[in-house]
Amino acid sequence: MVYYSIFLATFISLLSATVVVATGPKVTLPYATFQGVDDGNLAKFLGVPFAQPVYLLLSNKLNTNTLFRGAFLESGSPASMKSVADCDGQPFYDGLVDANNCTGSQDTFACLRRVPFDAFMATVNRTDNVFSFTSVSSEWVPRVDGEVIVESPLLSVSQGAYSKIPIMTGDSDDEGTIFSFSNDNITTNAEFMGYIQSNCLPKSSPAQIAQISTLYPEDPAQGSLFGTASANAITPEFKRLAAFQGDFPFLGPRRFFLEHASARQNMWSWLNLRGKTNPVIGAFHGSDSGIWLPANTMTTDSWLNFINTLDPNRSARGNGAPAVFWPMWKTNSTQLLTFSDPVVVNITTDDFRSDAIRSINELVFEAALQK
């Protein structure tokens, strides 16, 4: 199964789609289809792998302030994004064109759209994905083209060029574990540094990569699955890679987003620590879906409150305080609603791995400035 191939299938099939709002008129967006509810506004509750595409609709000067009331981003915040100008995606597209016998077509994109869905997805599923060696640097991810995606999401965030609506965003503690099994042939510090530079931070200098290797040390007790000492170190570099590959595309961008957006709008964030007894994977990417989707009174109340009032603490009926008050995330009070085993819910501070995550964010932002 190719986890994020849905990006490509959606891109191929939904251009110039029409948004149908359940209780209002049709709304046309040029790049995606959504179903909406509630007096003509779209209510978005989407987790992986849709959280980042939803964010893209909130940014890049698409004027969605009057369309979206709020957003709930599960394991997905504005992250590092390559540019079409880098041309690194062309070989992947050419390979897909060839695999679908569209090479001789004058319009290869139109040809791909005519391929039966099952046949098309079969060719996509033979390409690299997030569970391949390249892992979180997947082939089929959005790229900045200057028109659909105007600029890097990180630049949009830093400039305030996105919808100023209330947002809830959070992650699981061990986001990177399931994406690091395919890197089990990386067993030395030199191989770790080489992989990080070639696959994740190609514009960073050797000295900067060396600094990252110091901030993500080989000591398995400091790696992910976090909080398990030397256990779960299935290879010499696994927990180290898992720590980096969780922070680089997930926890780092979330904190970057919160640091900038919390000064402009109401923001709430959470951290999922449940599942630490799961061998090797721990509180893995997507595991927080189980917190929100069942009939769990506390969490269900929080996001239903948010949908109705844009505040997880305030009911539309005004009938009582929540079981746990969820404070907003502020730069001077970086509070997280934290879910721990077995059913503990409390407030913690968002300050873990501060130096490491800050360094990653600085390098990624620096790369985004290099157009």
User: Is 171:256 a contact under the CB 8 Å cutoff?
Assistant: no
Top pLDDT among 265 and 286 is at: 265
Lowest mean pLDDT among 70-79, 92-101, 264-273: 70-79
Lowest mean pLDDT among 35-39, 56-60, 86-90, 346-350: 35-39
C-alpha to C-alpha distance for 44 and 19, rounded to whole angstroms: 13
Structural domain 30-89+139-369, CATH architecture: 3-Layer(aba) Sandwich (3.40)
Q: Which two tokens stand for residue 146?
A: 């200057």
Once rounded to an integer, what is the mean pLDDT over residues 362-371? 87
Give pTM, 2 decimals: 0.83
| HSE-CB of 208 using CA atoms within 13 angstroms | 18
Q: In what helix (H) or strand (E) does residue 133 lie, and over which residues does it extend?
A: none
Q: Which two tokens stand for residue 278?
A: 């799961």
Residue among 178, 132, 150, 177 nearest 81 (CA)? 150
pLDDT for 62 equals 56
pLDDT tens, residue by residue, 171-196? 999 999 999 999 999 999 999 999 99
pLDDT tens, residue by residue, 22-34? 334 434 444 443 4
268 has which bridge partners? 168
Instruction: Look over the chain and give the mean of its residue pLDDT values, rounded to a whole number.
Output: 82
How far is Cα of residue 236 from the mean position of the Cα atoms in its chain?
27
Once rounded to an integer, what is the mean pLDDT over residues 295-317? 85
Q: Are strands 267-272 and 344-349 parallel, antiparallel or unpaired?
A: unpaired
Residue among 34, 42, 92, 45 nearest 67 (CA)? 42
3-state secondary structure of 95: helix
Residue among 162, 98, 163 nearest 127 (CA)? 98
Residues near 163 by beta carbon (within 8 Å), at least 6 away in sequence: 58, 59, 64, 65, 68, 71
How far is Cα of residue 127 from the mean position of the Cα atoms in its chain?
21
pLDDT tens, residue by residue, 146-158? 877 788 888 888 9
C-alpha to C-alpha distance for 364 and 358, rounded to whole angstroms: 10
Lowest mean pLDDT among 52-61, 109-118, 320-329, 341-350: 52-61
Measure the CA dihedral 135/225/230/191, to 10°: 20
Once rounded to an integer, what is the mean pLDDT over residues 94-118? 92
Give, in order, the Cα–Cα distances in Å from 253 to each of 21, 123, 293. Answer: 30, 31, 24
pLDDT tens, residue by residue, 109-141? 899 999 999 999 899 888 877 777 777 777 777
Q: pLDDT over 90 for what percent of the chain?
A: 49
Once rounded to an integer, what is the mean pLDDT over residues 11-40? 40
Once rounded to an integer, what is the mean pLDDT over residues 40-66? 53
pLDDT reading at 238 higher than 90: yes
